[in-house]
Structure 1
Amino acid sequence: MNGTTDTVPADQPWDESHLSKYFFHTDPIPRLSCTDPQALQLIAQEKPVVLTDTKLCDTALKWDLDYLAANMGTERYMVFLSKNHKFKYYDEAKIKLYKTNFVPPTRRLDMTFSEFVKKLRDWKPGDERVYLQQGLNNTVGQGIVVDFLQFNWQWLNIQQKTNNWGPLTSNLLLVGMEG
């Protein structure tokens, strides 16, 4: 077992059997209230914890494909296409300095969110898989900006100060396919 799920057919619905199996021991991640001292201690120790009640991004809970398509606006966004489910990052400018015969594992296209949703919905097994990556900035629609501004920034800022985290540099909307 190498930690991959390459044997899962692309058209098969996801279930827990698709979780990667590893040769090393893994522990369950605790689910705790954001006010639980143990949760705050785990955060301070940089250990994983699922916080059940921060309400950090409650206004984004309605962000399904239909809502995003209606509220992202008509800008063009960065979409990657891949022949498999792996979307490995590489720096397009730097890779040319080190690999002269580099063949990119993905293709990048710019398309509107509605075009992206159509590509997702029209997808058939054997088609390239698609993945959208977009910064939450002034290029997204006003409805998304309003939702984003209502995130629980107060709680996050307290954690940032308490744990000596650096500045928040970016917030990304990442939309991928199942599987």
Structure 2
Amino acid sequence: MRGVLSIPIIKEIFHFSFAIYHLPFEKWKITNGKWQMANQPEQTQERADGLEERLIEFAVSIIRLSNKLPNTPSGKHIAGQILRSGTSPAPNYGEARGAESRSDFIHKLSIVLKELNETSIWLRMIDKSNLISSENVLELMNENNELCRIITASIKTIRSGRPKIDKPTVR
């Protein structure tokens, strides 16, 4: 197998050559084995990890809530719907973190926001229908609102014109 490059090595070479060709090299550094822009705060990765963990905890809470819903036709329907919308933001955020371009990242974050908004509506329906006690639902509604604000702010920040790092153009 001498002389054969694996796909991960080819990707790393591409990212490195893209950085050298398109951006001043002194703006890049290696952190935890990955290339990152040097002027980004050190906490960026930790904040992204923290948000991902929060979305996972939110999904776990949604699973627990769906298990508390009554075993009636309406309870089963709402449980299935809120399970789909309430557990999808975490994996979709994980997908966004691996986006291939800035526009891909924005698109995937928009999907996270869309799913959180849908979950908000299901939570409000559960609360208004008194299917379970309001205490359980209100806590989740508050967390859902905070997560929506965080994702919305992230999308606005990215769209605001920070340095654009997108797929390379052919020259």
Question: Which has more helix, going by share of residues?
Answer: 2
Question: Which has more strand, going by share of residues?
Answer: 1
Same fold (TM over 0.5): no
TM-score when normalising by structure 1: 0.27
TM-score when normalising by structure 2: 0.28
Looking at CA atoms only, which structure, 1 or 2, has the larger radius of gyration?
A: 2
Task: Using CA pairs under 8 Å that are at least 6 residues apart, name the structure with larger relative contact order, 1 or 2.
Answer: 1
